[in-house]
């Protein structure tokens, strides 16, 4: 049975049987009516949840809402997100945080491929592993800096064509001395920074990226985001931070300049 319950400024929506279009219409109507908290139950693959909510908020001069998702949201969760918070009590599919500008997405499970495609701000925290091409084309814009913190590890092409921002991969589910399995790490990277806790496979870095030890400035940054991750998911930040991290940066800001005529 589909139902929408209103509890003060919280609106609960049962997504059972709803198409992605019907669910998103209900979400936008709820936000336009002034809801500051939405609870979505029985989500099963509906796409675009949270997309363009900032337009409803700006039009009505309302507060940016928080969305709690129970179930498995479909592709492009939080696409173009600008200020709202989305919490997923389960796994997320591909394209989460696509072109995200600001806000926060918290995933109590895994995330699929192309997490944070072309994002330019906000924070995403994933408790477990992520798929292929996480952070592809991620960039910074003025004072905005996108951040991804991954509790597990990643598939191949992490940070591909990355132009800005921060990716932190904690490897908490890896066994002692087990390397991160990803290959072609930071292929085409020309900005930003990636941190790996633990060991990388030999040859896993793409041409044009280089690994460095962390310095005191890096450790301060890591502490900030690891403590946020630990608070969200009940981890031990002190134990995580005692392990060594490797810093990955680009060797040049123009990795493919030889391909272009002058």
Number of CB atoms found within 10 A of residue 160's CB: 21
**Distance set, CA 128 to CA 110, 131, 216 (Å):** 5, 10, 27
pTM, rounded to two decimals: 0.93
Distance between CA atoms of residues 243 and 190, nearest Å: 27
Residue 74: phi and psi, rounded to 5, are -85, -165
* Cα–Cα distance, 155 to 235 (Å, whole number): 23
Residue 50, Ramachandran bin (φ over 0: left; ψ between -120 and 50: alpha; else beta)? left
pLDDT of the chain along its 262 residues, tens only? 344 554 448 999 999 999 999 999 999 999 888 888 999 999 999 999 998 787 776 655 567 889 999 999 999 999 999 989 999 999 999 999 999 999 999 999 999 999 999 999 999 999 999 999 999 999 998 889 999 999 999 999 999 999 999 999 999 999 999 999 999 999 999 999 999 999 999 999 998 899 999 999 999 999 999 999 999 999 999 999 999 999 999 987 676 666 555 5
Would residue 97 be called left, alpha or beta, if left means φ above 0 and alpha means ψ between -120 and 50 degrees? left
For residue 202, what are the contacts with CB-CB under 8 A and spacing of at least 6?
A: none
Question: Residues 6 or more apart from 141 whose CB is under 8 A from it?
Answer: 101, 120, 121, 164
In the chain, the domains with their CATH numbers are: 75-259 (2.160.20.60)
Contact 96, 117 (CB under 8 A): no
Token pair for 169: 């991969």
Q: How far apart are CA 144 and CA 198, in angstroms?
A: 28
The 3-state DSSP class for residue 224 equals helix
Measured CA to CA, the distance from residue 241 to residue 199 in angstroms comes to: 14
Residue 257 pLDDT: 63
Burial class (CB in 10 A: 0-12, 13-18, 19+), 29: middle
């Amino acid at each position: 049975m589909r139902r929408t319950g209103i509890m003060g400024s919280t609106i609960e929506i049962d997504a059972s049987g709803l198409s992605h279009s019907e669910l998103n219409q209900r979400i936008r109507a709820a936000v336009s009516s002034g809801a500051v908290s939405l609870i979505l139950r029985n989500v099963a693959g509906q796409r675009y949840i949270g997309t363009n909510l900032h337009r409803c908020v700006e039009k009505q001069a309302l507060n940016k809402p928080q969305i709690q998702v129970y179930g498995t949201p479909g592709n492009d969760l939080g696409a173009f997100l600008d200020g709202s918070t989305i919490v997923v009590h389960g796994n997320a599919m591909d394209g989460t945080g696509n072109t995200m500008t600001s806000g926060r997405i918290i995933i109590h499970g895994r995330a699929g491929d192309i997490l944070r495609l072309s994002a330019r701000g906000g924070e995403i925290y994933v408790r477990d592993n992520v798929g292929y091409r996480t952070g592809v084309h991620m960039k910074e814009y003025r004072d905005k800096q996108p951040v991804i913190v991954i509790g597990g590890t990643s598939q191949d092409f992490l940070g591909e064509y990355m132009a800005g921002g921060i990716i932190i991969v904690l490897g908490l589910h890896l066994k002692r001395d087990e390397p991160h399995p990803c290959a072609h790490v930071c292929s085409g990277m020309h900005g930003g920074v990636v941190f790996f806790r633990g060991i990388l496979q030999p040859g896993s870095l793409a041409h044009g990226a280089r690994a460095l030890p962390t310095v005191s400035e890096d450790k301060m940054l890591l502490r900030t985001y690891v403590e946020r991750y630990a608070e969200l998911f009940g981890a031990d930040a002190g134990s995580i931070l005692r392990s060594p991290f490797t810093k990955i940066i680009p060797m040049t800001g123009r990795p493919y300049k030889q391909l272009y005529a002058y």
